């Protein structure tokens, strides 16, 4: 079935079309959810709620932009809504916090699983802002609106998230290097 046929079937509420749409976008959307979640179980919950919302609102997709992009936006919004409802996000308002990371790049290749675990280990506030800015491409102004925080808070959260990730990756590099030297 083509994407258009699947879309028409989903709009009509056909379970076969919904299953095809789900199967087609499952892996990518689960990856999105994993970045916002604390663990795999929470990501599964985000994904389920996200697809429930997709199917409930599929008629609102107007064809501008890709269907995958629309689904991604719905899933991200569901993740953010759940996180906000839990009110566990802690934001540190340090608008004066500025760090330039361009002079200390980490160029070593890290496997996807390690990077995901490093991102998941961040506090919810750091993790959410990092994902929205660095991965999804939102501006600090957009993040501030989505999370109901100031732009300065968004910037400081991103700076701190980057600092913590860089520290974790640098430590991982040192451990890997020491292991290879001793082997």
Same structural domain, 134 and 60 = no
| CATH number of the domain to which 10 belongs | 1.10.1740.10
Q: Is residue 94 part of a domain?
A: no
Residues 18 and 70 in one domain: yes
Looking at 45, 68, 86, the residue that finishes a domain is 86
Domain count, the chain: 2
pLDDT of the chain, 183 residues: tens digit per residue: 899 999 999 999 999 999 999 999 999 999 999 999 989 999 999 999 999 999 999 999 988 889 999 999 999 999 999 988 876 555 544 443 333 333 333 334 456 778 888 888 898 889 999 999 988 899 999 999 988 899 999 999 999 999 998 888 777 555 554 444 444
**Three-state DSSP string of the chain:** CCHHHHHHHHHCCCHHHHHHHHHHHHHHHHHHHHHHCCCHHHHHHHHHHHHHHHHHHHHHCCCCCCHHHHHHHHHHHHHHHHHHHHCCCCCCCCCCCCCCCCCCCCCCCCCHHHHHHHHHCCCHHHHHHHHHHHHCCCCHHHHHHHHCCCHHHHHHHHHHHHHHHHHHHHHHHHHHHHHHHHC
Q: In whole numbers, what is the pLDDT of the chain averaged over residues?
A: 82
Task: Give percent of the chain above pLDDT 90.
Answer: 56
Tokens for 111, please give them: 């496997």
In the block, tokens 């990501």 appear at 43
Structural domain for 151, as ranges: 112-182
Whether 150 is covered by a domain: the verdict is yes
Vertex 87, ends 83 and 91: CA angle to 5°? 90
* CATH (domain of 150): 1.10.10.10
- Cβ–Cβ < 8 Å for 133, 161: no
Which of 70, 86, 102 is at the close of a domain? 86
Inside any domain, residue 103: no
pTM of the predicted model as reported, rounded to 2 decimal places: 0.69
Looking at the fold, whether 117 and 172 belong to one and the same domain comes out as: yes
Q: Are 75 and 46 in contact (CB under 8 A)?
A: yes
- Cα dihedral sign, 137-140-141-144: positive
Q: Is residue 82 within 8 Å of residue 93, measured between CB atoms? A: no
């Amino acid at each position: 079935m083509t994407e258009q046929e699947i879309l028409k079937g989903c709009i009509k509420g056909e379970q076969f079309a919904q299953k095809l749409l789900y199967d087609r976008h499952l892996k990518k959307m689960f990856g999105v959810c994993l970045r916002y979640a604390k663990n795999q179980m929470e990501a599964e919950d985000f994904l389920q709620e996200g697809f429930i919302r997709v199917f409930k609102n599929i008629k609102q997709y107007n064809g501008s932009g890709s269907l995958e992009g629309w689904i991604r936006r719905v899933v991200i919004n569901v993740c953010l809504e759940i996180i906000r409802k839990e009110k566990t996000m802690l934001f540190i308002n340090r608008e004066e916090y500025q760090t330039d990371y361009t002079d200390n790049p980490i160029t070593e290749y890290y496997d996807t699983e390690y990077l995901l675990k490093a991102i998941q280990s961040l506090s919810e506030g750091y993790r959410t802002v990092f994902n929205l800015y660095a991965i999804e491409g939102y501006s600090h102004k957009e993040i501030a609106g989505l999370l109901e925080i100031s732009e300065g808070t968004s910037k400081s959260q991103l700076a701190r998230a980057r600092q913590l990730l860089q520290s974790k990756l640098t430590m991982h590099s040192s451990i890997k290097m020491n292991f290879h030297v001793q082997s």
